[in-house]
Amino acid sequence: MPTARFTFPRGFLWGSATAAYQVEGQNTNNSWSRWEETPGKIIEGQRSGLASDWWSGRWKEDLQRALDSGQNAHRLSIEWSRIQPTADTWDDKALAKYVGMMRWMADHHMTPMVTLHHFTDPLWLVDRGGWESEEIPALFARFVRRVVEALKDYVSLWITINEPNVYIMGGWVEGGFPPGKHDLKLAAKVTVNLLRGHAAAYRVIHELQPEAQVGVATNYRSLVPAHSWSPLDKLPVKIQDQLFNRAFNNALVNGKLDLVFKKVNLPEVAKTQDFIGLNYYTRDIVSFDITHPAEMFGRRYFPKGALVSPTGFLANVPAGFWDGLRWAHKYGLPIIVTENGVEDDTDALRPRYLVEHLHQVWRAANFNWRVKGYFHWSLVDNFEWESGWTQRFGLWGLDINTQQRIRRKSVDVYESICKENAIDSEMVKELVPEIFDQLFPTG
């Protein structure tokens, strides 16, 4: 049996990721808590409830598990509605809880990456128009100032906005996220405000903490035409790729937002990103289909023969991750993989998915691309937005009735990689033997 190691760069960040609303529980004052109470919005009428019970303090045991299994970093978000429950009040006790989390990580030599907006908005903000309002960039900057002033002694890696492309698509195009609209004109307006909000936050962070590294986490979707020779298949790919993958980040480079159907000059947002945050999950094949106007006449489906997650939400296509890494590399900035994972309650696919995708990260690092870290989604099962508890992304499973954590085989796989800073052939042979010959060929 051949023995080999795919070694990652020294100082590589190994972590997992969570989001406040999905793990904290007891969140009752934001756009998603209101969404949960609206019939038909969450699958099977499920509720977040205690979620993973972090607000009561179970964050500490979960982070200890991560630490014990070799992780040296963690990505988490701050819930705006806890810090600023009304337009005119601030909750210093809530902010102190987050300070305690960051201090704990610092004391345990765990690097925190903090996300300042992860899909949720305070109800007072929603009732004032939310991200459709012209006042939102200044309001977001005020919130960011409050948080950064409190956490800057412990945090220097910041994500201003998580997946603005998903937030816009879900809330203003497809309608599965609050506010549940189908309005391209409003979607464009929200995009502009998110860009301005990010830029305002970027400047606040660097004013308070000049050494900080600030980025946006973008969900990159690999899109491939069904027939490479077909102009009809290529056209929806080009449009979808521009709208979903490129428009927001390109604007952060050159100050020009290109939404295909609308172009906006935003010079104030140019050069306001220090690294690229890359979220990748899957790839789609795209065929021209006149019956899909909302998707720019492009019908999407998974590659033939790809292994698919239990609910059919994701396909295991590591080559698509390579596309995402190459996309990120072209911006000429350091890259941090801020999310990557698969929903898999049986944990049958996740070990393979994890190793195959990390192999792509190693390839990129081996090309001397500046990949600085990897955060697996997610640390523990959590409330997956409109999919509720039907999708289980955690390295650790969760019994929502007892709050018991369940160690999955994927923990062993990831622990080996984190502690060795490498993908080791012996680990693959023992824990993921079905891909051994693929990763370590003898011929």
For the record, the structure tokens of 205 come out as 């962070």
Dist. CA 122–CA 220, nearest whole Å: 27
CA dihedral 403, 408, 413, 419 (to 10 degrees): 30
3-state secondary structure of 19: coil
* Active-site annotation holds for 149: no
Q: Identify the active-site residue in 36, 79, 163, 343.
A: 163
Burial degree of 286 (CB within 10 A; 0-12, 13-18, 19+): buried
339 is catalytic: yes
Q: Where are the beta strands (DSSP E) in 289-395?
A: 298-301, 335-340, 371-377
How far apart, in whole angstroms, are the C-alpha atoms of residue 413 and residue 351? 7
Distance of CA 426 to the CA centre of its chain: 31
For 305, 356, 367, 428, 436, the CA distances from 440, given in Å and listed in that order, are 22, 12, 19, 9, 6
Exactly one of 36, 339, 356, 415 is catalytic; name it. 339
Q: Any residues with CB less than 8 A from the CB of 102 and at least 6 apart, and which?
A: 112, 114, 151, 154, 155
SS3 293: helix
HEC assignment per residue over 368-430: CCCEEEEEEECCECCCCHHHCCCCCCCCEEEECCCCEEEECHHHHHHHHHHHHCEEEHHHHHH
Report d(CA 267, CA 270) in Å as an integer: 6
- Is the Cβ–Cβ distance between 87 and 50 less than 8 Å? no
Active site residues: 163, 339
